[in-house]
């Protein structure tokens, strides 16, 4: 029995095998090769290893196979990746893993040696390598910090190529990099004595932020090259095959020059062909109007680091926090657009006020000089009979003191004299006489209650007759009269107009009366404000009569 248990445990432990294999163990730099993992579990998924030092060119490609031999079934699954090495050296690809039945299974590791200039064993792969390459062109050989530079990426195709894909794009430090929108173009050229199709497939805008040398970064693209196999089909036509290939190119060295010294004190880092604009919506206003001032930098430049100068505020105005606006687009000439602050000024005094001058300094790579732009002094005029005159020659402290005095004048105190919060009330003798007379008057007023009640009943009957007559004559104000009568009924019940009529009537008269009241009221309002949807007058008057009797 123990032997049987040990045997079954061993067989179960050997139930899943994971095998890792490579199409080549020694490969050339940028030469694609295949990594394959196969395992014998039907309903499990493989977790691939970390492909450090390698780039996946294509895949994963999955396949499965089932075999039945002499009644014994076997199952095999495979997953394949096509990869390329990023640098020379000897690398170990770790184990792939899978979980099944709570157990972790691992594959074997693989050792791959990458060498420059290794001759390819596959003739088709060698032909594919010779039929496809890539280049990077730069718009300038040297630029200043903040000056734009464009990289154009070209593919030279000596054979038909499909499925072009960028595997690795240049990645620079201290550089703004932006992919430009453009239409890909292709043309035919003779390169090194061979006819080739030149494909411009990518443009990138580069804005360097620090001096140094831009270069050494590598571009890798993959594609499937159609190469002849050397064989022919039944009809004598040459057979071809698409072979995966990776082409690489390095960026030519570009010198990034520092900005000239000495730098002006007002310089804040702006580089380009720029304009400085200060727009004033109007320079003469009344005391009830306001002024809008826009401070804007526009043109072509390093807008990612440009800061818009703050407004030099004039005296005599309340200046609110600015609104920020920008519109930027990336082009082959650089970053174009504008940045601006929009200020709102509200006058506090009447008179003439000076809007101080402003300056903006930037570096122009075209002239290789620092340039300073200036917004001149402007005069703002406030014409008003309601505003006080500004203190002539006053300092900002004087203006602030004047504003505080104005606020103090706007305050109206409820009592200027000393206030005694409590005074003891003493009733004098004649006060008792007044109280007795008031009591007699109330008693006399209560005597003719029957007469007043009769008048109230008579008035109610008059309202009822008016409603009946209005509905009989189809009067236009019949619904309004009915609503007035309903209000009289509510007041008689002690229910105010602002109360919840439905709830109040349910508590005092019951749900039936409350529902009837709500129905009549809503139909009257609907007929009054939407005549096209008016209710049947006869039915409405019948419900009103019943409600009248109930209340």
Query: What secondary structure does DSSP assign to 113-133, as a single string?
Result: EEETTPPPS-HHHHHHHHTEE
- The pLDDT value given to residue 454: 43
0.75 exceeded by pTM:
no
Coil, strand or helix at 508: helix
Burial class (CB in 10 A: 0-12, 13-18, 19+), 113: middle
The residues, any chain, with a CB within 8 Å of residue 289's CB and separated by 6 or more, are 282, 347
Q: Helices 537-550 and 478-492: crossing angle, nearest 10°?
A: 20
CA distance 512 to 249: 90
Local confidence pLDDT in tens for the 551 residues of the chain: 333 333 333 333 456 788 899 888 888 777 788 899 988 877 778 888 988 888 888 878 888 877 777 777 777 888 898 888 878 888 899 998 888 878 888 889 999 888 876 656 566 777 777 788 888 889 999 999 999 999 998 888 888 888 888 888 777 777 888 888 888 888 888 888 888 889 898 888 999 988 988 877 788 888 888 888 778 878 878 888 888 888 888 888 899 999 999 999 999 999 999 999 999 999 999 888 899 999 999 999 999 889 999 999 999 999 999 999 999 999 888 899 999 999 999 999 999 999 999 999 999 999 999 999 999 999 999 998 778 876 654 444 454 444 444 444 444 545 555 545 544 445 455 566 766 677 676 665 554 444 444 435 556 667 778 888 888 888 877 888 888 888 887 777 777 655 677 778 778 888 888 888 888 887 887 776 655 545 578 888 888 888 888 87
Strands 110-115 and 26-28: parallel
The answer to whether 96 and 77 are in contact (CB under 8 A) is: no
Helix (H) or strand (E) holding 400: helix 396-410
Domains of the chain in sequence order: 16-119 (2.60.40.10), 124-257 (2.60.40), 272-402 (2.60.40), 449-550 (no CATH)
CA distance 306 to 209: 12
**Tokens read off for 353:** 């006020």
CA distance 83 to 32: 5
- The pLDDT value given to residue 341: 95
**Tokens read off for 541:** 């008057």
CA distance 59 to 167: 13
Q: Helices 537-550 and 449-472: crossing angle, nearest 10°?
A: 170
- The pLDDT value given to residue 404: 45
């Amino acid at each position: 029995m123990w032997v049987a248990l040990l045997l079954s445990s061993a067989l179960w432990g050997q139930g899943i095998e994971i095998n890792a294999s490579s199409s080549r163990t020694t490969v050339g730099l940028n030469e694609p090769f295949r990594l394959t993992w196969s395992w014998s579990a039907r309903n499990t998924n493989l977790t691939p290893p970390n492909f450090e030092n390698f780039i996946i060119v294509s895949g994963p490609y999955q396949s499965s196979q089932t075999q039945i031999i002499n009644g014994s079934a076997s199952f095999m699954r495979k997953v394949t990746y096509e990869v390329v090495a990023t640098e020379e050296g000897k690398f170990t690809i770790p184990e792939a893993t899978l979980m099944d039945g709570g157990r972790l299974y691992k594959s074997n590791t693989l050792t791959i040696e990458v060498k420059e200039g290794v001759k390819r064993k596959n003739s088709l792969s060698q032909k594919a390598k010779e039929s496809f390459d890539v280049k990077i062109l730069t718009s300038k050989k040297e630029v200043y910090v903040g000056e734009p530079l464009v990289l154009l990426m070209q593919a030279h195709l000596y054979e038909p190529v499909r499925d072009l894909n960028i595997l690795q794009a240049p990645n620079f430090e201290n550089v703004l990099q932006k992919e430009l929108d453009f239409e890909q173009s292709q043309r035919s050229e003779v390169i090194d004595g061979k006819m080739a199709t030149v494909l411009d497939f990518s443009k990138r805008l580069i804005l360097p932020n620090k001096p140094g040398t831009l270069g050494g970064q590598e571009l890798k693209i993959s594609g499937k090259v159609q190469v002849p196999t050397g064989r022919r089909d039944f009809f004598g036509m040459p057979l071809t095959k698409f072979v995966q290939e990776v082409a690489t190119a390095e960026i030519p060295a570009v010198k990034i020059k520092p900005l000239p010294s000495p730098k002006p004190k007002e310089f804040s880092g702006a580089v380009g062909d720029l304009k400085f604009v200060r727009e004033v919506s109007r320079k003469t206003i009344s005391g009830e109007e306001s002024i809008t001032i826009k401070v804007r930098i526009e043109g072509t430049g390093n807008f990612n680091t440009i800061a818009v100068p703050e407004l030099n505020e004039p005296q005599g105005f309340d200046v609110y926090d600015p609104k920020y606006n920008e519109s930027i687009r990336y082009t082959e000439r650089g970053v174009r657009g504008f940045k601006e602050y929009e200020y709102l000024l509200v006058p506090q005094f009447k008179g003439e006020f000076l809007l101080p001058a402003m300056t903006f300094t930037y570096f122009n790579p075209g002239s290789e000089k620092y340039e300073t732009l200036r917004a001149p002094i402007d005069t703002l005029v406030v014409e008003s009979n309601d505003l006080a005159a500004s203190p002539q020659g006053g300092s900002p402290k004087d203006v602030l003191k004047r504003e505080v005095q104005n606020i103090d004048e706007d305050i109206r105190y409820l009592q200027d004299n000393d206030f005694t919060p409590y005074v003891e009330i003493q009733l004098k003798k004649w006060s008792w006489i007044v109280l007795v007379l008031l009591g007699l008057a109330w008693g006399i007023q209560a005597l003719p209650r029957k007469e007043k009640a009769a008048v109230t009943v008579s008035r109610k009957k008059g309202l009822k007759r008016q409603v009946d007559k209005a509905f009989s004559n189809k009067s236009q104000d019949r619904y309004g009269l009915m609503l007035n009568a309903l209000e009289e009924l509510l007041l008689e019940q002690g229910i105010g107009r602002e109360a919840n009529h439905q709830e109040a009537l349910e508590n005092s008269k019951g749900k039936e009366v409350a529902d009837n009241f709500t129905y009549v009221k809503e139909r009257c309002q609907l007929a009054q404000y939407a005549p096209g949807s008016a209710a049947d007058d006869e039915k409405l008057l019948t419900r009103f009569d019943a409600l009248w009797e109930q209340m």
